[in-house]
Structure 1
């Protein structure tokens, strides 16, 4: 789950990092809003290698489609309550009655297709346990190299690996996992490092250096 892509909040006219009052360089989208700043400093780009955490990120990236990440981040506590902390086994058992209940919940994004996608994605996550599991399935699409952007304009919105991951997940029954959404996921979970080169978080995932 990442603010990168078409829905990324950003300061127009600023394409490099912004020096914060703490002396640390961050991209514009993480330089002002305290919630986004904390997310950037502590979570975005940190490897996610547990099933529940990865399932949650896939769902929230899907809910973000067409919206800003700030909106999803502010609603995340409500999402976690509504979807039982994104435990795949619990969400997979949701019924149409649960869909109708969630459509009345003002704390989340009330989109029927996205809510149903969270349920089918939980079921698909469980099905993958008979194979390599969701985590290994997603991480097999780690590219051989990562972008090295000096400015926001140099950050791609998708890649051959995100296209391949999207196709593979769709084949397994997942939905709301388009190539752009999957590239945002890859950024958020450390599969690629798109921190700007002079950001204080560059290389912080431990997956990529430099």
Structure 2
């Protein structure tokens, strides 16, 4: 029998992370692209060849976006996403939705995203919420005519689980939802049918890992 003076060891066990209904292995694996995810009241769809914006959009870098957005490094947190990762996800999503022009010469309009704000505070609680606000404008390349302009605010929430992972997860979903909202609205804008409020809501939640503490004899 182990000596009674020996201290007990604590073994943390992390449960599987999941998005419901989609799944992920870790909070930083939550994708930034909205392809394959469900939103309300609509989802971004691939453009058909007869759409006015089919393979006609040139994408500019995201103006004013910090190198890392989300939770502060001063708190020992990694942040929700890097700027480079967000821009890559945006470009790849537009390409899959048949929006991105193959070359600048083939582009007819220019999409200009602008970073405004992200509110994703880390706090000791059982829930987390993150919101993202971005400006999106679409202009004709030949004459600079403004065709579409909206500031879009999107949010995500989650309860339970590890607070640090939860903060990162909901931040990434809020970013993903902003991309989905902008591209869905731009599709409608081509026909003059873009709503004033373009924000979509995710039909899923991030489920953070739960730390289970087991006491084993040392």
Give the alignment's TM-score, normalised by structure 2: 0.27
Give the alignment's TM-score, normalised by structure 1: 0.28
More strand per residue = 2
More helix per residue = 1
- Which of structures 1 and 2 has the bigger CA Rg? 2
